[in-house]
Amino acid sequence: MQGSTSPPPLNSSTVRVTGNYFGTRFTMDTRFTRGKSPILERSITRPKTEVSLSAFALLFSEIVQYCQNRVYSVSELQNKLSELGQQVGVRILDVLVMREKNGKRETKVINVLLFIKVNVWKALFGKEADKLEQANDDDKTYYIIEKEPLINAYISVPKENSTLNCASFTAGIVEAILSYSGFPAKVTAHWHKGTTLMIKFDESVIARDKALDGR
Amino acid sequence: MSRQANRGTESKKMNSELFTLTYGALVTQLCKDYENDEDVNKQLDKMGYNIGVRLIEDFLARSNVGRCHDFRETADVIAKVAFKMYLGITPSVTNWSAAGDEFSLILENNPLVDFVELPDNHSSLIYSNLLCGVLRGALEMVQMAIDVKFAQDTLRGDNVTEIRMKFIKRIEENLPAGEE
């Protein structure tokens, strides 16, 4: 008979360390610093630095064109933009949690969504997201609705690929923030009431949330 | 000040962190897509050039800067007006060559490199090389051929970040026949 002393299942938002701690070679994720670096000495509060929106728009436009040259379809392009957004999301998550949440992560779906609508949006775009809604017919699906997303400020979509929404980049940011907070989800951008980011949580997220409610 | 003078100079601002992180995501992607740092540097320069070509229009429309009469004036406008307008910083202009055709921009707080450190295997990556392309592209549109490169970079262990700019020649306007 197998030993019945297996550890209790961990909440998926907690860190798992598997294997022999001392015997395992951990590879360092590139997003971590190598130690002696001025970055570590910096104040964590938000620096009051600003750049012009034109600078961002021109950079973003080059990024979209670069991605466009390396893909064959609109959906591939959106995936690529989303991947780039995820890079941003991963990096902004920790600093925002430290700055605005006293280092405390959210554990409830509704709280993490509000964190995104309020804190993340304010930090990145200078304002709250316009709306946060839950789908009527599906408890896994939520929407973040933005009438005029900053990302799309200077972008006109050509007729031949009218489904393209460069806010896929923002969708990537949101997806990374959710996933790295322990809420695996798929986030996609759509044209609906302006731009709508559709968040579809993994089954397990909703199940856990219900279990937490039941306690 | 009259409203007339102000018109168009207002440009919208945004948080530099999103800008910095977006640029970082681009560089990361390029490092994945290309095999060596040299190619990444080239691609960044190319993208910068494309940006510069478009940025100059935006710049001339927003700033009330007229034609620069010499290279010194150009240097001043770049450092004090353009860098300030787009990146919110003012580099200092130094190290003029005797002939007055070469100078350096010393950048403090380059917003592109906030939070950035280079991994050991990217020692020849010129992380902010996009800026060189931007400067080259923008100046080409006002008939100046310029050589731009990073002479020093704090990311690579130098004490300061220095962009060296060298005037090559004035580009003659070759109007197509019949257009004058």
Question: What is the ipTM metric for this complex?
Answer: 0.89
Would you say how long chain B is, in residues? Answer: 180
**Nearest residue of chain B to residue A28 (CA atoms):** B119
State whether residue B141 sits within 8 Å of chain A by CB.
no
The pLDDT of residue A158: 67
Name the residue among A33, A54, A87 with its Cβ closest to that of B28.
A87
Chain B partners within 8 Å of A51 (Cβ): 13-14, 16, 19, 86-88, 111
Q: Which long-range contacts (CB under 8 A, 24 or more apart) does A134-140 make?
A: A139/A206, A140/A200, A140/A201, A140/A202, A140/A203, A140/A205, A140/A206
Distance CA B14, CA B22 (A): 13
For A119, the token pair is: 């804190």
State whether residue A24 sits within 8 Å of chain B by CB.
no
**Nearest residue of chain B to residue A62 (CA atoms):** B47
Chain A partners within 8 Å of B85 (Cβ): 52
Distance CA B173, CA B31 (A): 38
Are A56 and B29 in contact (CB < 8 Å)?
Answer: no
pLDDT in tens, chain B (180 residues): 444 444 445 678 888 899 999 999 999 999 999 989 999 999 999 999 999 999 999 999 988 888 888 999 999 999 999 999 999 999 999 999 999 999 999 998 888 988 788 887 888 999 999 999 999 999 999 999 999 999 999 888 888 999 999 999 998 877 666 654
Over residues A100-128, the mean pLDDT reads 93
Chain A partners within 8 Å of B82 (Cβ): none
* pTM of structure: 0.85
Beta-carbon neighbour count of residue B124 at 10 Å? Answer: 12
Residue A1 — pLDDT band, cuts 50, 70, 90?
A: very low
Test the B interface: residue of A29, A37, A49, A175 with most B CBs within 10 Å: A49
**Nearest residue of chain B to residue A58 (CA atoms):** B51
- For the cut 90, the answer to whether the pLDDT of residue A31 exceeds it is no
Buried b (16+ CB within 10 A) or exposed e, A3-15: eeeeeeeeeeeee
Q: Are A129 and A189 in contact (CB under 8 A)?
A: no
Q: Give the rounded percent of residues in chain A with a pLDDT score beyond 70.
A: 77
The pLDDT of residue A215: 66
Chain B partners within 8 Å of A62 (Cβ): 26, 47, 50-51
Q: Are B28 and A86 in contact (CB under 8 A)?
A: no
Distance CA B27, CA A89 (A): 16
Are A150 and B14 in contact (CB < 8 Å)?
Answer: yes
The pLDDT of residue A25: 57
**Nearest residue of chain B to residue A46 (CA atoms):** B17
**Nearest residue of chain A to residue B57 (CA atoms):** A54
